[in-house]
Amino acid sequence: MKIIHTADLHLDSPLTGVAVPAERRHELLLALGRLAEYEKNNGVDAVIIAGDLFDESNVSVQTVRSVADIVKQSRAAWFVLKGNHGGSAPYELLRSLCPQIHFFGDDWTFYGLGNVTVCGRELGHDDAAHWQQLRLDPSRYNIVVLHGDVDDPSYGLIDKNALAQSGAKYVALGHRHSFAEHRFGKVRACYSGVLEPRGFDETEQTGFVEIDTDLDRIKFVPCAIRSVVTKRLDVGGVTSDVSLERRILDCIADVDPRNYLNFVFCGEFENVVHIQMVAQHTLQGKFFALRVSDETRAKLDVSALCNEVSLRGEFVKLAMQIEDERLRNDVLKMGLACLDGEVLA
C-alpha cells in the first residue's frame, strides 16, 4: 500500500511579503491539486495531512469548497489533522462538504485501511495522560499522525519514549516546514515539510513523503511551482557601482524569474559602493519575490584608524565600543562613508 504524507499547506495565508499574494494563494491550492494528481497516477491508497491545512481565521468558503472538490475526485482515503492553525470553522465546513474525510479528535482516533492502522490525535491539554493510552496492534502497519515539535512541548507533548514502545511503524509529523527524519527507538518519523514555500524562511527543497507499507520504505518526493533561491555575492574587488551591477547580473544569470530570490551581499569592500541603490535598480521586478540582505563589512585597518589623530580616528574608536557586531559594522560603514563625503543609500 502507498500512502502520501504532507502537512502545513496553510491555505489562504496572507502572504504580505509576496508581490502578488492572491496569485500565490491560488498556487498553494494548486499544489494540493498536483499532489492529488500524483496520487491518481501512482497508485496511492491514502493521503495524510498532518496539520495546518488552513491558515488562521481568514480562510474563504471558496478555498474550503475547492479542497472538498479535490478530495471528492480522489480515489484515495484522506486523513486530516487540524493542527494549531486555522481554528475549527473551516474544518467543520470541510467535514460537511466532504464527509468521506477522516478527522482526528482530542482523544486517540483509529482508522483501519487494509493491514494498516492510521491513528492520531490533536495535541493539547493532559497530553501526558493521553500517551499512556496509546495501544497499537504490533501485527499491523501502524502510522501515528501528530502535529507539534519533537523538541518543544509548547504546542503539545510528543512523547518519544511512548512512541518508541507503541508498536508504530511510522510517525507522520507536521509543524516544522522542512523535511526531516527522526528515530524514536526503531520507529521512523518524518516532518514532510511544505508543498510550496510561502516566504523566504522556507529555503529547503519542498515536497511530500511517500510511504510504501509493503516494502516498509519511505521516500521524499520533491515538487514545487516556485522555489526560494539564495544567491550570495562577495563584494571583494568591487570598485564602483557599475562593477557591482555587472557582478549582480552575472550572479543571477541562472535564476528562473518565477522563483523567490534571496540575494545576500557578503565579504569586505575597500571602496564605497551604493549596495542598496544598485540592488534595487538591478533586481527589483525581475523575480516573483525578492529579499536583499547586506552582510558586507568595510575593510579597515582598525588599529591604524584608532591611532589616527583625526575625526575618523575618534569616530572609529567610539564605534568599536558597540558590542553588537552587526550594528557596529553598519555604524562603521555609514559613518566612514559620510566622513568621506559619500551617502550610502
- What share of the chain has pLDDT > 70, as a percent? 95
Between CA 198 and CA 28 the distance in angstroms is 8
Q: What is the pLDDT of residue 305?
A: 73
Owner of C-alpha cell 512512541? 163
pLDDT digits (tens, 9 = 90+) for 206-256: 999 999 999 999 999 999 999 999 999 999 888 889 999 999 999 999 999
Q: Check: CB of residue 11 under 8 Å from CB of residue 177.
A: no
Q: What is the pLDDT of residue 341?
A: 61
Q: How confident is the model at residue 106 (pLDDT cuts 50, 70, 90)?
A: very high
Domains of the chain: residue spans and CATH: 2-222 (3.60.21.10), 228-339 (no CATH)
Between CA 276 and CA 265 the distance in angstroms is 10
Q: What is the pLDDT of residue 272?
A: 66
Q: Give the residue, 299 or 44, on which the prediction is more confident.
A: 44
Q: In Å, how far are 139, 227, 290, 330 from 144, measured between CA atoms?
A: 15, 30, 38, 49
Cβ neighbours of residue 240 under 8 Å, at least 6 residues apart?
A: 271, 273
pLDDT digits (tens, 9 = 90+) for 179-211: 999 999 999 999 999 999 998 989 899 999 999
Between CA 58 and CA 255 the distance in angstroms is 33
Between CA 303 and CA 285 the distance in angstroms is 43
Neighbour tally for 136: CB within 10 Å = 19
The residue type of 259 is N
| DSSP letter (8 states) at residue 273 | -
Q: How many residues does the chain have?
A: 345
Cβ neighbours of residue 224 under 8 Å, at least 6 residues apart?
A: 195, 196, 197, 205, 206, 207
The DSSP result for 150-169, as a single string, is: TTBGGG----HHHHHTTT-S
Between CA 129 and CA 106 the distance in angstroms is 12
From the number of C-beta atoms within 10 Å of its C-beta (0-12, 13-18, 19+), residue 24 rates as buried
